[in-house]
Amino acid sequence: EREWPRPDRCRIITIANQKGGVGKTTSSVNLAASLAMHGAQVLVVDLDPQGNASTALGVEHHAEIPSIYDVLIEDMALADIVVAAPEIPNLYCAPATLNLAGAEIELVSKVARESRLRRALDAYDTDKFDYVLIDCPPSLGLLTVNALVGGDELLIPIQCEYYALEGLGQLIRTVDLVKAHLNQKLWVSTILLTMYDARTRLAAQVAEDVRSHFGDVVLNTVIPRSVRVSEAPSYGQSVMTYDPGSSGALAYSEAASEMAHGGARK
């Protein structure tokens, strides 16, 4: 594959939306895979107790595996949990295991509870990576707050359906609070429209609303609904290797290319 330009410094991108099933994990995994396939060094941090990103990258995440839980709660170093994703060179994963579900509560009584991921990233040599993508759980709890404090950029996947914009206000308010008190650098750099069904007028309407509301941070590329995208994780693969010629893989590759070439800002 042709190489894309690599950023001067590691871009740490949090992928969040407190709604479930909008394509956070699918986007994390497939954007990461695309970037890695075009020469970037990429780390996916799985911050969802379900461990779906770990699964989709073919990375083991049963209870005994050292995981992001140990980093957040037991002060383990990221270097001790990061593993290579088996399918794709240059792609790495910090896996999540089910005990992460308890971290939401356990974090409450920890010192600097909102900044534990940031501290772990600071202590880690992230500059060996071009991109760190942080996949969030579907909530605005302390795990997502850790991801917002740990990241420099926020990517919001939005599913093209009726209630898409509802609830985004809550996310944006949380982002503003984090910016004011915990991470000045944070900004919404990228919005990605997912699961687009070209046959419905509704999808087109939602896409238009999102573009008029958020302007040029919305990537030009829209991810279509594609069965191949939803099949890939059960084979422990991204759609980029599972079916590289599928519409979903091509779209994720286009979206990743936009991000690598400066996103919709250019």
The residue count for binding Mg ion (CB under 5 A) is: 4
Q: Which is nearer to ligand ADP, 55 or 126 (CB)?
A: 55
Distance of closest approach, residue 250 Cβ to ligand ADP, in angstroms? 12
* Distance separating alpha carbons of residues 141 and 104, to the nearest angstrom: 7
**How many residues appear in the chain?**
266
Alpha carbon distances (Å) from 25 to 15, 45, 184, 227:
8, 11, 25, 16
Alpha carbon distances (Å) from 254 to 13, 43, 174, 219, 257:
18, 19, 30, 10, 5
Under the binding rule (CB under 5 A), the answer on residue 24 touching Mg ion is yes
Distance of closest approach, residue 105 Cβ to ligand ADP, in angstroms? 21
Distance of closest approach, residue 152 Cβ to ligand ADP, in angstroms? 21
Of ligand ADP, Mg ion, none, which one sits near residue 226, judging by CB under 5 to 8 A according to partner kind? ligand ADP
Of Mg ion, ligand ADP, none, which one sits near residue 223, judging by CB under 5 to 8 A according to partner kind? ligand ADP
| Closest to 92 in 3D by CA, of 149, 141, 32, 148 | 32
Q: Which is nearer to ligand ADP, 170 or 230 (CB)?
A: 230
Q: Which is nearer to ligand ADP, 10 or 250 (CB)?
A: 250
Distance of closest approach, residue 90 Cβ to ligand ADP, in angstroms? 22
The structure tokens listed for 121 are 């990233």
Using CB under 5 A, which residues numbered 27 to 46 contact Mg ion?
none
How are beta strands 91-94 and 83-84 bridged, if at all? antiparallel
Distance of closest approach, residue 20 Cβ to Mg ion, in angstroms? 7
| Closest to 185 in 3D by CA, of 226, 219, 154 | 154
- 14, 25, 55, 97: residue in contact with Mg ion (rule CB under 5 A): 25
Residues lying near ligand ADP in the complex (CB under 6 A) are found at 20-26, 52, 138, 194-195, 223, 225-226, 229-230, 248
* Distance separating alpha carbons of residues 36 and 131, to the nearest angstrom: 9
